[in-house]
Amino acid sequence: MGKLSGEKVTIGQADGPDIDLVVHGDELYARYETPDGYPVIYDERRGLFCYALLRGGGFISSGVPASESLPPGARRHAAETDAIRQEKAEAKAAARRPPPDERKRGARS
């Protein structure tokens, strides 16, 4: 995925129908919102996109599926702090890098 700024996409869910979301970000960090601007995150336990709530500068799942009514505390266009976004992007980038042993082997080949 290249950089997306408000692109509407349809995404599958493990335990529910496909959902239309608006995406802001890139392959290292992306924020998802409902079409009316409420942030959602994928809740692995539920297998669904759920409304996101801000706690300590980062998103947590409210446990309320995006297909249901807004939970208390949901804020339109809420965003994680710059520090949280940077931390998540760095972790994702690091996870994509081959382990040091494989990098050394690749250089010798």
Residue of 11, 29, 28, 32 whose CA lies nearest to 20:
11
Q: Which residues contact 62 (CB under 8 A, 6 or more apart)?
A: 50, 51, 52, 53, 71, 73, 74
Instruction: Kindly indicate the confidence band of residue 106, based on its pLDDT and cuts at 50, 70 and 90.
Output: low
pTM reported for the whole predicted model? 0.83
Q: For residues 5 and 105, what is the distance between their CA atoms, to the nearest angstrom?
A: 38
Total structural domains within the chain: 1
Q: What range does the domain containing 46 cover?
A: 4-108
pLDDT tens per residue, range 60-92? 999 999 999 999 999 999 999 999 999 999 999
